Amino acid sequence: MSLNAERSYKMKLRDVENAFKYRRIPYPKRSVELIALLAISCTFFLFMHTNKLNSRLKEMEVKLQPSEFSALGLTGNHISGHDAGKHDDINTLHGTYQYLKSTGQLKHLTTAQLNNTPRAQVDTLFFNRVAKTGSEKMMELLKILGKRNNFQARRDAGAVYEVVIMHDAFAKNFIRTEVVNCTQANSYTKHVAFLDFDLLGEPWPIYINLVRDPVERLVSWFYYIRSPWHFGERRNAFGDAIPLPDIDWLKKDFNRCIEERDPECVYEQMEMGNLGDHRRQSLFLCGQNMAVCMPFNSHEAMQRAKKNVEKHYAVVGTWEDTNTTLSVLEGYIPRFFGGAKDEYYALRKILGNVNMNSYRPGISDKARAILSQNLTREIELYQFIRHRLYKQYIALKLEEDPRLRN
């Protein structure tokens, strides 16, 4: 942006701020409020956050992901001593394969060991979606797959506030009236923490979920709630129940928020509040026990979430490993996800990236380092889930080509 253009933009922004401050902008109707909000938000994002490189890189990441196991070169024992010593090697598909091979686990790995789908007691796919993991995209995919594979894709009714934590009586009624009440094959989607169907005396569905890099997820949430379309949709749906935001809040920068310890961006260890900002990805996999699952970044919550993932979830994937996730969904839940890859890439051409904020700035190295120190258990859980996903994928490929065991 040129110096003159920047000065002109700052003058315009100051005029808008003053107009709000001294009430020269009237608020006779909700539509006028909405237009003013959208104008301010769009101007701010267009001028200050024209960083589209991030979204381009994400698209390239997906395209460059291996669609076939052989593309990873996993057919020989060629891991070097240098690679074997890398701390994060196991957090890649190739590293997971080499780890399983070097420890002797590869010879005995089967899909049956990793497949929880046969344990389901009803023909219901339950997607208790984690916020800001790309769940809207999955919901669109489920709608399309429902038509292809003859099941009904359902979701919860919209509400001003999500009910993520439920007491037992409420949860039991929710399950009976919303989740397992359908007489045909179906999927049901809702933001809700893991529900233990055994404890509630109800039949188990097929559990699935998505996760995302914890740092990227928090950055995404920070700018998503400031996006004009987010406010526009919520104001249209819920009217005056959604208040107009403060301009200074809209202008807030995530890096400065973290580095200057703004109260919105402070992530205290073991604290019990701030449920509304979705800082706890683990909560959705840990469950409804507040004492165990609410303390932020706790070891106990992480361990409970790991146990639930291994014991109860058919698949927990991530769009950061798109092809791997889709392959595992197709392989382990074919009744619902047959043809998922074909439908997904056709869907991308039509819709692009649902809810993607193209004007989101990047995160600084300093802010990332601070967040990483505060999200140690959340990051460990995320890597555990990816490692399990890779094992599920490798087991599928071993059944296709047993020579890969050697």
Alpha-carbon Rg for the chain in angstroms: 23
Q: Report the 3 state secondary structure along the chain.
A: CCHHHHHHHHHHHHHHHHHHHCCCCCCCCHHHHHHHHHHHHHHHHHHHCCCCHHHHHHHHHHHHCCCCHHHHCCCCCCCCHHHHCCCCHHHCHHHHHHHHHHCCCHHHCCHHHHCCHHHCCCCEEEECCCCCCCHHHHHHHHHHHHHHHCCEEEECCCCCCCCCCCCHHHHHHHHHHHHCCCCCCEEEECCCCCCCCCCCCCCCCEEEEECCCHHHHHHHHHHHCCCHHHHHHHHHHHHHHCCCCCHHHHCCCHHHHHHCCCHHHCCCCCCCCCHHHCCCCCHHHHCCCHHHHCCCCCHHHHHHHHHHHHHHEEEEECHHHHHHHHHHHHHHCHHHHCCHHHHHHHHHHHHCCCCCCCCCCCCCHHHHHHHHHHCHHHHHHHHHHHHHHHHHHHHHHHHHCHHHHC
191 noted as active-site residue:
yes
> Among residues 82, 94, 167, 191, which one is catalytic?
191
312: which 2 tokens? 């109860």
Query: How many other C-beta atoms lie within 10 A of the C-beta of residue 173?
Result: 12
Active site residues: 191
